[in-house]
Amino acid sequence: MKIIKLLCIILNIFFLNISFGQHYNISNAHSHNDYQNPIPFFTAYDQGFGSIEVDIFYYNDSLFVGHTFGDIQKKRTLQALYLDPIKNKINVNNGYPYADSVMPLQLLIDIKTDPNRTINKLVQILNTYTTIINAHKIKIVITGNRPKVNDFTSYPNYIYFDGDLDKDYTTSELNKIGLFSADFTKYFNWDGKGIMVNADHKKMDSIINSTHQKGKKIRFYASPDDLNAWQEFIKLKIDYINTDHIEQLGKFFK
């Protein structure tokens, strides 16, 4: 009996590793509030993260990076902390964000000020970064304060938007959705310890399947953020693993 149990454990690990290798790698890692790291952008980029999040404020005709309005500093602009480094990496990598041309990079821009004025300024700035907006494997997604849904299609082709699970989108609007993000605590009670209860598991499975049927990816924020949670999220096929622990998640994936 002990031998049978041991064989079952070994087989479970084997098939989990096969599934992990086929569907998940460091590109599925998302750096939440990346700008709060001692070294913004590069900490997550050097790990190979597929998605990086930055909060921006429109002030004095510029876009500043920070968690609150009080964080605004002259040198902490979107260009200095993110756009310039991304541009430099694309130039080095012959039109791709990473040396491995298969690896994507999503920049999730969380707008904290008026959406229309902020995005208009963002578009104005991005139009000067043709290296970025014409690059392969780069996606720019707007989250936080967004314009009205029926205005999504009025923005340039290189601009995508974060979707809400509780909204219905037309086909043209859905084409402008880069991914779906949702507050984990709004839908689930699981604290990341042990195994997710069956009710939460079924609800998450339904949400993920529905999102994938739309041809979109999904991310949960305010979610448990440790080894046990990451393993469960991979089993459930969450596309982006949200983390504040960049180096630990990087080691886990590698």
Please name every residue paired with 140 in a beta bridge, in sequence order, or none if there are none. Answer: 107, 159
pLDDT at site 190: 95
Band (pLDDT 50/70/90 cuts) for residue 12 is very low
Show the tokens assigned to 236. 């459930």
Q: What is the mean pLDDT of residues 53-58?
A: 98
Sequential DSSP letters for 56-121? EEEETTEEEE-SSGGG--TT-BHIIIIIHHHHHHHHHTTTSSSSSTT--EEEEEEE-S-HHHHHHH
pLDDT at site 70: 82
Residue 88: what residue type? N
Band (pLDDT 50/70/90 cuts) for residue 6 is very low
**pLDDT tens digits, one per residue of 200-243:** 999 999 999 999 999 999 999 999 999 999 999 999 999 999 99
**pLDDT tens digits, one per residue of 126-171:** 999 999 999 999 999 999 999 999 999 999 999 999 999 999 999 9
Is pLDDT of 111 > 80?
yes
Strands 177-183 and 218-221: parallel
Q: What's the whole-model pTM score?
A: 0.90
Q: What is the mean pLDDT of residues 13-26?
A: 55
Q: What is the mean pLDDT of residues 161-188?
A: 97
Please report, for the chain, the start and end positions of each structural domain, with discontinuous segments joined by +: 23-253
Average pLDDT of the chain is: 92
Band (pLDDT 50/70/90 cuts) for residue 15 is very low
Band (pLDDT 50/70/90 cuts) for residue 3 is low
Is pLDDT of 16 > 90?
no
Domain spanning 23-253: CATH 3.20.20.190: yes
Percent of the chain scored above 90 by pLDDT?
87
Is pLDDT of 9 > 70?
no
The kind and range of the H/E element at 161 are strand 159-163
